[in-house]
């Protein structure tokens, strides 16, 4: 399992035990909605920080696309601005 995903899962109320390289999750009070929002916020952070590095009109197009992508992810996952 990806380390970042493990970190997000543990932030949602699970605790873990490691057996070799396997992770056992105990989730009596696991917050599934919180995990979905954390994953969406992680994706938003990636999109917001992408930089095409253009120095002309293409940079403005990329900026507009990034803003639209971030807004759409927030809308789909119910994340407030």
Give the ranges where the chain is alpha helix by DSSP (H): 3-10, 32-48, 57-77
CA distance 74 to 77: 5
Encoding tokens for residue 3? 């380390």
Give the count of beta carbons closer than 10 Å to the beta carbon of residue 44. 19
What are the pLDDT digits (tens) for 37-51?
899 999 998 888 877
Q: Of all residues in the chain, what percent carry a pLDDT higher than 90?
A: 9
CA distance 68 to 63: 9
Show me where the domains of the chain are located.
1-30, 31-81
Residues in Cβ contact with 27 at an 8 Å cutoff, skipping those fewer than 6 apart: 13, 14
Question: Does residue 9 or residue 68 have the better pLDDT?
Answer: 68
């Amino acid at each position: 399992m990806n380390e970042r995903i493990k970190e997000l899962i543990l932030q949602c109320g699970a605790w873990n035990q490691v057996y070799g390289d396997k992770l056992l999750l105990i989730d009596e009070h696991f917050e599934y909605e919180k995990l979905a929002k954390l994953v969406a916020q992680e994706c938003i952070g990636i999109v917001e920080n992408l930089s095409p590095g253009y120095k002309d009109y293409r940079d403005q197009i990329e900026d507009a696309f990034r803003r639209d992508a971030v807004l759409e992810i927030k809308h789909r996952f119910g994340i407030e601005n």
